[in-house]
Structure 1
Amino acid sequence: MNPNRFTVRPLLLAASAALITLVAACSAPAEDDPESSAAHTPVTVEHEYGATTIDHEPTRVVTFSTNWTDTLAALDIPITAEFVQKGYSGPNNHFEWTPDHESQIKVVDSLTSIDVAELAAFKPDLILAGYVGDQKNYDRLSALAPTIPVMRKGASVDTWEDITTTTGKIFGKESDAAELVTATQDKIDAFKADHPAAVGKTFTFAQFQQTGGVGAVNSTEDAAAGLLTQLGFVLNPKLAAENKGGATRSMISSERIDLLDSDLLVAWTLGDKSVYAKVPGWDSLTAVRDDTVVYLTNDNAPAFGVPSAPSVEYVIGLLDPVADEFA
């Protein structure tokens, strides 16, 4: 289990989280696409466990994380299979922001203990895994097919930019990937331009558990905080002070709910809003008083926690009405 996640990693990772959906597609690259019709050039991707070289253009791709799935679908790259974690893969195992694509879905209890025999049945020639837990799990997967775990050392989820750019390199769609990055950045810039009063406001991203436990992001190295920072918000300095250079999320005791006080609160539960009423001092939090809370469930939290280019637009849609409150 990822120590930087409050619960078993979603999509939410994954999102967010880095989060595995089975997709089957048989379409071949368009012959009139100069990038896809060109001979494949071997690509080496560096990652937390070393490097993986992809010698041939993959045709049977398996994804374990929604950010890879979203990006491949956005770039019209066929996916053979997606493994998704039970309870963390969206309504009917589909997230609202993921571009339409045909797929097979394999629901599993944990993305870090995949049954290799089940995976092998899909005959993958590339596994886009994201967070895999540890070296042992990576070795199990890479023995079956070239595998890409989290690329940034020390991270549990890669940035949407890195996922997009790497996808373009692997599949010979670098110009398409660059256009997707530019288009997504344009949306981020437009959000800040449309909501100048929101820029510089403090934010807290926290998960409220049924047991009463509360976990909150304490570093912009966390994917959710990184995205909110790109959108112009500033991490709650009281939580930032809790980071000691290790885990990017802190457990908050009921006596220190004041640590959650900020201009914007992104609050994530399993869906039961009655949890909030049990939080001591909930009604006194600035964001609760000012109606600047964004409420999330497992069905959309991965858009923040395992961000992809397609999920950025969805996140902006959730933040727009709250950002208007800062005008």
Structure 2
Amino acid sequence: MKKLRFALQALVVVVTAALVSLVAACSAPADDSSTDSSTDSSVAYTPVTIDHQYGTTSIEHRPQRVISLASNWTDTLAALDIPITAQFAEQGYSGPNNRFAWTPEHDSEVEIVGSMAALDISKVAAYKPDLILAGYTGGQKNYDRLSALAPTIPVMKKGATVDTWEDITQATGTMFGKNAAADDLVDGTNDKITRFRSDHPNAAGKTFTFAQFQPTGDVGAINSVEDPAAGLLAQLGFTLNPKLAAEHTGTVTRSRISSERIDLLDSDLLVAWTLGDDSAYQKVSGWNGLTAVENDTVVYLTNDNAPAFGVPSAPSVGYVIDLLNPVAQRL
């Protein structure tokens, strides 16, 4: 799993838009903007059904013991002030002190596990969940094991490994009776995106590459804006590197880059992430000749901030913008 996280989720992770319309077909409960219906048991709960890549999940009762297995769900629950019973994260990919800089303050038990791919289901069961927000599960077998414990929401968009920040936000509002608050969160996030584009008109249309550099010297890069990491950058006004876009076939949104094709990484903006080994860049022949390296328009990511791009949430969008602001001024 760690060898090529780049092909999976970005913090079950490794990264995986905002150009995709809402695909979580949900039957929405009534939204009471004057009452916090996510926790108030006196407010009637209307059952909802969420469509996802393995079928549908029905939530018949108001969730009280919510387990998050993905940082984008955790971020969004916290932003909408929805209590989290426990959040799971992978060792080395959970942020400083097991919290990412962009995640809103909240109370929750935190479970750090060695591998999300080999998650001990009994650890989840111990919390007696009544809703599991899983994101990428690695396959239907794992989804089935989780859904035997409680209603489980895997990735909603069919064929994807990460959902867009909009879909996560709207689905959260639907499940917890907070549609109005979710709409406000989406609108506020879109306002930040609009402001970034207005502040950096010279960045509009500039090409970008999002790449992960393995300690082994292997390189992978996103080849489609269907990938939420690239989709977010496209929302901000950048254009996916055309050479990489030409590599996109079928539904796979990541390309392995051979040492002979480092030219595929050449673009105005380069978002570069290694799995904790900064020397991985220097293992790439031709690195110093890349346009973004020469122009000082590389955004260097670490395990502590890469999920802001790769598993985007409404709260992480502002963090991404803050990282991009100084680079955008040089484009």
Please confirm whether the aligned pair reaches a TM-score higher than 0.5, indicating the same fold. Answer: yes
Task: Give the whole-Å Cα distance in 2 for the aligned partners of 1:242 and 1:5.
Answer: 19
Contact (CA 8 Å) 1:4, 1:249: kept in 2 or not?
A: no
Residue number in structure 2 paired with 1:297: 302
Task: Give the whole-Å Cα distance in 1 for the aligned partners of 2:4 and 2:289.
Answer: 28
Task: Give the whole-Å Cα distance in 2 for the aligned partners of 1:302 and 1:129.
Answer: 16
Pairing partner for 1:217 from 201, 214, 222: 222
Task: Give the whole-Å Cα distance in 2 for the aligned partners of 1:202 and 1:252.
Answer: 18
Task: Give the whole-Å Cα distance in 2 for the aligned partners of 1:71 and 1:154.
Answer: 22
Shift of 1:278: 2.3
Question: CA 1:34–1:108 in structure 2 vs 1: closer, same or farther (change >3 Å)?
Answer: closer
Task: Give the whole-Å Cα distance in 2 for the aligned partners of 1:2 and 1:70.
Answer: 23
| Alignment deviations for residues 212-261 of structure 1 (CA, whole Å, 9 cap, x no partner) | 11111111111111111111101000011111113211111111111100
Residue number in structure 2 paired with 1:6: 6
Pairing partner for 1:173 from 158, 178, 203: 178
- TM alignment of 1:254-293, pairs within 5 A: 254-293=259-298
Q: Does 1:198 align with 2:203?
A: yes
Task: Give the whole-Å Cα distance in 2 for the aligned partners of 1:119 and 1:289.
Answer: 47
Question: CA 1:191–1:138 in structure 2 vs 1: closer, same or farther (change >3 Å)?
Answer: same
Task: Give the whole-Å Cα distance in 2 for the aligned partners of 1:132 and 1:257.
Answer: 32
Unaligned runs of 5+ residues in structure 1 are: 18-29
Question: CA 1:197–1:74 in structure 2 vs 1: closer, same or farther (change >3 Å)?
Answer: same
Identity value in percent: 67
Unaligned runs of 5+ residues in structure 2 are: 17-31
Aligned alpha-carbon RMSD (Å): 1.9
Task: Give the whole-Å Cα distance in 2 for the aligned partners of 1:308 and 1:218.
Answer: 21
Shift of 1:8: 6.6
Shift of 1:274: 2.4
Residue number in structure 1 paired with 2:244: 239
Question: CA 1:34–1:273 in structure 2 vs 1: closer, same or farther (change >3 Å)?
Answer: closer
Question: CA 1:2–1:274 in structure 2 vs 1: closer, same or farther (change >3 Å)?
Answer: closer
Please state whether the residue corresponding to 1:197 is helix, strand or coil. Answer: helix
Contact (CA 8 Å) 2:170, 2:183: kept in 1 or not?
A: yes
Residue number in structure 2 paired with 1:159: 164
Please state whether the residue corresponding to 2:118 is helix, strand or coil. Answer: coil
Q: Does 1:55 align with 2:60?
A: yes
- TM alignment of 1:35-46, pairs within 5 A: 35-36=37-38, 37=40, 38-46=43-51
Contact (CA 8 Å) 2:79, 2:104: kept in 1 or not?
A: yes
Residue number in structure 2 paired with 1:185: 190
Equivalent residue pairs, number: 313
Question: CA 1:71–1:130 in structure 2 vs 1: closer, same or farther (change >3 Å)?
Answer: same
Question: CA 1:245–1:105 in structure 2 vs 1: closer, same or farther (change >3 Å)?
Answer: same
Task: Give the whole-Å Cα distance in 2 for the aligned partners of 1:80 and 1:206.
Answer: 34
| Alignment deviations for residues 46-74 of structure 1 (CA, whole Å, 9 cap, x no partner) | 00000001011101000000000000000
Contact (CA 8 Å) 1:202, 1:234: kept in 2 or not?
A: yes
Q: Does 1:64 align with 2:66?
A: no
Shift of 1:109: 2.1
Shift of 1:189: 0.6
Contact (CA 8 Å) 2:159, 2:251: kept in 1 or not?
A: no
Task: Give the whole-Å Cα distance in 2 for the aligned partners of 1:197 and 1:9.
Answer: 31
* TM-score normalized with structure 2 length: 0.90
Contact (CA 8 Å) 1:3, 1:247: kept in 2 or not?
A: no
Residue number in structure 1 paired with 2:35: 33
Task: Give the whole-Å Cα distance in 2 for the aligned partners of 1:8 and 1:222.
Answer: 11
* TM-score normalized with structure 1 length: 0.91
Q: Does 1:137 align with 2:142?
A: yes
Task: Give the whole-Å Cα distance in 1 for the aligned partners of 2:3 and 2:248.
Answer: 14
| Alignment deviations for residues 95-140 of structure 1 (CA, whole Å, 9 cap, x no partner) | 0000011121111122233222211110000000000011111110
Q: Does 1:125 align with 2:130?
A: yes
Contact (CA 8 Å) 1:192, 1:231: kept in 2 or not?
A: yes
| Alignment deviations for residues 6-30 of structure 1 (CA, whole Å, 9 cap, x no partner) | 277443x44644xxxxxxxxxxxx9
Please state whether the residue corresponding to 1:98 is helix, strand or coil. Answer: coil
Deviates more, 1:271-280 or 1:79-88: 271-280
